Amino acid sequence: MHFHRRRGWEIPEREATPRHLVLNRRALMAAAGAGAMLSAEAQAQWLFGGRSGSPSDPWARNPGDLPDLPEAMRNPRYQPGRAVSPERDAITFNNFYEFGSNKDIWPTALRMPVRPWTIRVDGMVEAPGEFGVDDLIRRIGLEERVYRLRCVEAWAMTVPWTGFQLSKLLDIVKPLGSAKYVRLETAQVPPHMTGLRQTWYPWPHIEGCTIEEAANELTFMPVGLYGRPLPPQNGGPFRVVFPWKYGFKSGKSLSRITLTDQRPKSFWETLQGNEYGFWANVNPDVPHPRWSQATERLIGTNERVPTRIFNGYGEFVADLYTNLQRERLWA
Ligand code: MTE
């Protein structure tokens, strides 16, 4: 088996060979040991699952397994300032390592059952609980927001999400004064998440933010996009989005949210902390160690446009960071 010793997002996605692997030395040996016993075809099957019988429609699911979303008004406060990305691109060009490390994981992801689905909210809160996604939708209500999404790989999209502010969920569970951080954990759903077989990754996928970032009005919990239920390849049924941070912070298919006084160490920080840190705020003037972040390529048109500080959301979030100048805010 031929492994490239390549780290996450080592090169821009347009140059990345599919299925690039993140391996440290120990993991490389473990993976090579496991892989040596399999034929090339069996290795691909083992790692990434089969493609036989792949659906052709990236929205298609079993009839009746997802309720339609209730009506959601578009919130005019968040103007993207550019055209919405083509729907098909947004739902077929994805990063979701639990399903594999290439961009076309949607046929595999689409098969993951997303009902019933509950999310546990616990830790330093007055009222911890296990919430059904549909109960939360009914209880909180939905709105649509069109946000810019900037991936650390220097591509970007503009996506209409349907969901609710994370702060509304926090209001339900009532954080204690001692809570300083929010840890966001992605579900592990074998056998659907075939990427979990890449045991050298530090599963589960964890992301995190400060309690102030979680309470910010921009922090959004999508359950839909383009007016339809969020498909698994985009993090269905329930994910988080921080539009001012690089996209890898926006954890998908969440199963648990924990309020804590300990700063969570994220999946990518564990793998490559010098390149993918805790804060990861978008900044065109701070290059990734191996490429520039000055511009971004719009998926759909391929147009290259200048990147903006905080992905253009500075008016909403810049004051979160005024006393944190010693932190590595941009990586
Ligand atoms: N969440 C989990 N659990 N696993 C992942 O691999 N990839 C991240 C983020 N959330 C990822 C994840 C990255 S790198 C990006 S750019 C966005 O999801 C992509 O979201 P999209 O596929 O909906 O565009």
pLDDT of residue 18: 32
Residue 243 counted as domain residue: yes
Residue 258 counted as domain residue: yes
| Best CA proximity match to 152, nearest among 320, 307, 318 | 307
CATH of the domain at 160: 3.90.420.10
Residue 266 CB–ligand 1 contact under 6 Å: no
pLDDT of 312 over the 80 cut: yes
Instruction: Tell me what percent of the residues of the chain surpass a pLDDT of 90.
Output: 79
Residue 328 counted as domain residue: no
pLDDT of residue 291: 97
Mean pLDDT, range 263-289, rounded to an integer: 96
Mean pLDDT, range 111-137, rounded to an integer: 96
pLDDT of residue 38: 46
Strand partners, 186: 254
Residue 327 counted as domain residue: no
Residue 147 CB–ligand 1 contact under 6 Å: no
CA of 241 to the centre of ligand 1 (A): 10
Parallel, antiparallel or unpaired: strands 143-150 and 220-225? unpaired
Transcribe 202-270 into DSSP letters: -SSPEEEEEHHHHHSTT-EEEEEETTEEPPGGGTTT---B-TTB-GGGS--SEEEEEEESSPPPPHHHH
From the CA of 152, give the closest atom in ligand 1: 16
pLDDT of 21 over the 50 cut: no
How do residues 85-104 score in pLDDT, each as one tens digit? 999 999 999 999 999 999 99
How do residues 22-63 score in pLDDT, each as one tens digit? 334 344 344 444 444 444 444 444 444 444 446 788 988 766
Residue 4 counted as domain residue: no
User: Is the Cα torsion angle 44, 45, 46, 50 positive or negative in sign?
Assistant: positive
| Best CA proximity match to 235, nearest among 159, 317, 302 | 159
Amino acid 184 reads L
Number of structural domains (the chain) is 1
**Which range among 14-23, 126-135, 184-193 shows the weakest confidence by mean pLDDT?**
14-23
pLDDT of residue 64: 67
Residue 109 counted as domain residue: yes
How do residues 63-83 score in pLDDT, each as one tens digit? 667 788 999 999 999 999 999
Mean pLDDT score across all residues of the chain: 87
pLDDT of 126 over the 80 cut: yes
pLDDT of residue 223: 97
Structural domain harbouring 185: 13-321
Residue 195 counted as domain residue: yes
CA of 177 to the centre of ligand 1 (A): 31
pLDDT of residue 20: 32
CA of 128 to the centre of ligand 1 (A): 27
pLDDT of 168 over the 80 cut: yes
User: Which H helix or E strand runs over 31?
Assistant: helix 25-36
Mean pLDDT, range 206-235, rounded to an integer: 97
Residue 331 counted as domain residue: no
